[in-house]
Every structure is written in C-alpha cells, then in structure tokens.
C-alpha cells in the first residue's frame, strides 16, 4: 500500500498501539508492530514511523525534539486533536476496532454481568470495559510498568489509578494524563487521600499517614516516601488540573 493514504481505521489501530507500547519499543522489529503491519497491509517501517509521528505530537516528546514531527500528516494531527478533545470517545472507538481487528486476551472477569444484564446495560458495560482496558494499557506502558511512587515493577501488583475518579468525570475516564501507575498499596493510599502529588510532582502525606509507628511496612511504604518525587512517564504527563482536583477534593490534610 505504498503511497496510499491512511484511512481512519488504520490510524485508530496505530494510535491505539502507540498508547499501549512502551516508548523504547516503537521500532519495526517489535512483534506487535509487525503483526499490526500485516493486518493493515503496511510495512513494519511505515507503522513504526506513524507511531513516532504520534509520539512527536506529545508535549513531552516535543521538548525532547523527537524525530518524526516533520513527517506528521494532517490526518495524524486530527486523530491527536480528537483524542485531546474527547479521550473517552476516541479510546472506545480505537479499542473496539483494535480488539475486533488485532485481538487481545479475553477478559474473563465480569462475564456474569453481561449474561444477566439487559441490552442497554450490556452496551454500557462493554463500553466501560473497553475504555478501562485502553486506560490501563496506556497508563502502565507509559510508566514502563513501574509504580510511580515506589518503582516496583511486578505488573501483577500494578494498577492504573485515576487521579480524578472514574465516577466524577466521564470525559477523563480514558485520558492517561488523568492516571498514575501505582502498586496496590499506593493506589489505595492515593484513592483514600492518604497521599497526594504537588504540581512539581512531589509526594505529600496526610497527617494520618505521617504518624510514626513501629510497623515497618507503614514506615517504608508511607512515612519514608514523603518529599520524594514520583516517577514521570515517557508520555502523557500527569495533568496538573487533575492533580489540583485530587489535592482539593480527595486528599486529607
């Protein structure tokens, strides 16, 4: 398909792959890139370049002068701008197409929900599940599958944690800039307002979490992290407005 314009489905599939692929793996030899290239009848090099084009539109990578910016097409920019204006909608569309076209490991959880739900509820649950998968993959891959607080890299312990909670903003549900990769204990601490993050990405503890204790886990997991900086992602930097919301509405002083 050399020389042929990329259609919307191809762009959405490639954008979805960009969001789920660690930055250091955006190269033509990555098996997932090869697989997508075969699926959409493009060369692995062409897909890899399109991924780098998307990377070059991220403010993080613009500051690093990532190569690819001169090759960005108007269609690439339109997909990026559409995602910025409504992450939930584009995440749902791209994840649905990606799973139908490329396929992912099926999620066995919550199958009983679908079996006993009505048609409208099934649609709602399916949409929510697709959006959540997109969000999780985008956030965890951006942090290279490490907790932003303690740097633990056991994926079984990691959670893509919303800064502004899922229930408070439909628009932010899929936005990886509204997410942090956290281990289970720091996800719960963040969710319950025991810790928060400043605009300079420094960790602050609530008075309850700061209490000195003989419990070693409490000391290591909470007391000793105060004043440290979180790990920043390779893309989709945490949104400062979302962090401000968390400090005002969730964090306990």
pLDDT digits (tens, 9 = 90+) for 76-112: 999 999 999 999 999 999 999 999 998 765 444 444 4
Residue 184 pLDDT: 96
Of 58, 80, 83, nearest in space to 233 by CA: 58
Q: 122: pLDDT confidence band, cut at 50, 70 and 90?
A: confident
Q: What is the mean pLDDT of residues 28-38?
A: 94
CA dihedral of residues 63, 67, 82, 137 (deg, nearest 10): -90
pTM for this one? 0.87
Q: 205: pLDDT confidence band, cut at 50, 70 and 90?
A: very high
Residue 135 pLDDT: 96
Q: Residue 3: is its pLDDT beyond 60?
A: yes
Q: Encode pLDDT of 149-181 as tens digits.
A: 999 999 999 999 999 999 898 889 999 999 999
Secondary element (H or E) of residue 161: strand 158-162
Residue 1 pLDDT: 53
Residue 217 pLDDT: 92
Cβ pair 225, 195 in contact under 8 A: yes
Residue 134 pLDDT: 96
Helix (H, G, I), strand (E, B) or coil at 194: coil
Helices (H), 86-239: 87-101, 111-116, 119-142, 184-191, 207-210, 216-221
Residue 113 pLDDT: 42
Residue 72 pLDDT: 85
Spatial separation of the C-alpha atoms in residues 177 and 242, rounded to whole Å: 8
Q: 202: pLDDT confidence band, cut at 50, 70 and 90?
A: very high
Secondary element (H or E) of residue 230: none
> Domain residues of the chain, as ranges?
8-104, 144-249
Ranges assigned E (strand) in the chain: 158-162, 179-183, 195-197, 203-205
Residue 111 pLDDT: 43
Residue 104 pLDDT: 65
Give the mean pLDDT of the chain: 88
Spatial separation of the C-alpha atoms in residues 31 and 141, rounded to whole Å: 16
Residues 6+ apart with CB under 8 A from 206: 193, 194, 195, 196, 251, 252, 253
Cβ pair 252, 194 in contact under 8 A: yes
Q: What is the mean pLDDT of residues 23-51?
A: 93
Residue 105 pLDDT: 57
Q: How many Cβ atoms from other residues are within 10 Å of residue 52's Cβ?
A: 20
Residue 213 pLDDT: 82
Q: Residue 67: is its pLDDT beyond 50?
A: yes
Q: Residue 214: is its pLDDT beyond 60?
A: yes
Of 80, 60, 87, nearest in space to 232 by CA: 60
Helix (H, G, I), strand (E, B) or coil at 25: helix
Name the pairing type of β-strands 158-162 and 179-183: antiparallel
Q: 63: pLDDT confidence band, cut at 50, 70 and 90?
A: low
């Amino acid at each position: 398909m050399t020389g042929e314009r990329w259609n919307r489905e191809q762009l959405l599939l490639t954008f979805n792959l960009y969001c789920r692929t660690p930055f250091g793996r955006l190269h033509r030899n990555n098996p997932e890139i090869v697989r997508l290239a075969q699926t959409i009848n493009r060369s692995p090099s062409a897909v890899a370049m399109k991924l780098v084009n998307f990377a070059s539109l991220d403010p993080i990578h613009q500051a690093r002068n990532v190569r690819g910016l001169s090759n960005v097409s108007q269609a690439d920019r339109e997909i990026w701008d559409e995602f910025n204006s409504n992450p939930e909608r584009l995440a749902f569309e791209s994840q649905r197409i990606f799973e139908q076209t490329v396929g992912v490991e099926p999620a066995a959880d919550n199958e009983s929900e679908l079996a006993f739900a009505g048609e409208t509820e099934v649609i709602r649950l399916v949409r929510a599940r697709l959006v959540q998968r997109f969000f999780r993959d985008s956030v965890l891959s951006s942090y290279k599958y490490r907790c932003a607080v303690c740097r633990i890299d056991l994926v079984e312990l990691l959670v893509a944690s919303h800064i502004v909670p899922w229930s408070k903003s439909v628009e932010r549900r899929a936005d990886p800039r509204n997410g942090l990769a956290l281990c289970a204990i720091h996800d719960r601490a963040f969710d319950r307002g025991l810790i928060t993050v400043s605009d300079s990405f420094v960790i602050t503890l609530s008075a309850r979490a700061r209490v000195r204790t003989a419990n070693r886990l409490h000391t290591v997991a909470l007391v000793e992290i105060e004043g440290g900086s979180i790990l920043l992602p390779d893309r989709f930097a945490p949104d400062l407005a979302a962090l401000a919301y968390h400090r005002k509405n969730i964090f306990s002083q």
